[in-house]
């Protein structure tokens, strides 16, 4: 078993691990793909993607040219109000999200407004599989965006003009925010 597969398997098992030294973003996405395959093999189902590191003002310092992304799963995503068992998490944090429900998958970012069916406010719970939160973007990507759970509020219809305004705001970013997981998408 190679090092990345061992690491992906340990992450998927919930082990506390030190980050892999010198992990590149390409290697991190390879580990994320291995974890995704393990999760699907265990019977979970991908229902969407979470988008992170959306603040373009931080990209140069983070070594990014685009936002990061990870999968959302049926077993970790539920309506707001469902109870969460916190015992298995180390240091959970809650992030406010804008959740977009897509009627179909867009071919490009420009096509996104025409694909959105509805919008909801979400609460994403992130947790660290590492000894501390002092991690790189690549470490976060390898750990599935440190996603632990997502709770989604009531869905609201959203017209294309409103979505374009939201999209413009997300692209500009907020200098006071690190832009982590600013919006997510879920296919119904």
- Residue 176, pLDDT above cutoff 60: no
Q: Is pLDDT of 185 > 70? A: no
- State the chain's mean pLDDT as an integer: 82
Which pLDDT score is estimated for 33?
A: 95
Q: Is CATH 3.30.70.260 correct for 3-186?
A: no
Residue pointed to by tokens 């017209």:
159
79-108 mean pLDDT:
84
Please state the domain extents for the chain.
3-186
- The pLDDT value recorded for residue 171 is 54
Structure tokens at 43: 């019977």
Task: Give me the mean pLDDT over the 139-164 stretch.
Answer: 85
- Can you tell me the mean pLDDT for 106-130? 85
Q: Which of 98-102, 115-119, 150-154, 177-181 has the lowest mean pLDDT?
A: 177-181
17 pLDDT more than 60: yes
- Mean pLDDT, residues 168-187: 42
User: Is the per-residue pLDDT at 163 higher than 60?
Assistant: yes
How many H helices and E strands in the chain? 6, 8
Of the ranges 9-13, 162-166, 180-184, which one carries the lowest mean pLDDT score?
180-184
């Amino acid at each position: 078993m190679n090092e990345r597969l061992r690491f992906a398997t340990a992450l998927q098992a919930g082990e506390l691990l030190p980050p892999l030294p010198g992990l590149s973003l390409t290697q991190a996405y390879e580990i994320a793909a291995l974890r995704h395959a393990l999760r699907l093999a265990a019977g979970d189902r991908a229902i969407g993607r979470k988008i992170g590191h959306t603040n373009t003002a931080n990209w140069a310092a983070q070594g990014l040219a685009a936002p990061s992304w990870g999968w959302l799963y049926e077993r970790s995503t539920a309506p707001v109000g469902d109870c969460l068992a916190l015992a298995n998490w180390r240091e959970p944090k809650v992030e406010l999200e804008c959740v977009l429900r897509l009627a179909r998958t867009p071919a490009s970012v420009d096509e996104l407004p025409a694909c959105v069916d509805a919008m909801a406010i979400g609460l994403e719970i992130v947790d660290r599989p590492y000894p501390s939160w002092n991690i790189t973007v690549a470490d976060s990507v390898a750990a599935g965006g440190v996603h632990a759970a997502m709770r989604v509020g009531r869905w609201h219809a959203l017209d294309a003009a409103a979505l374009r305004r939201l999209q413009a705001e997300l692209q500009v970013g907020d200098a006071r925010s690190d832009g982590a997981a600013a919006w997510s998408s879920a296919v119904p």
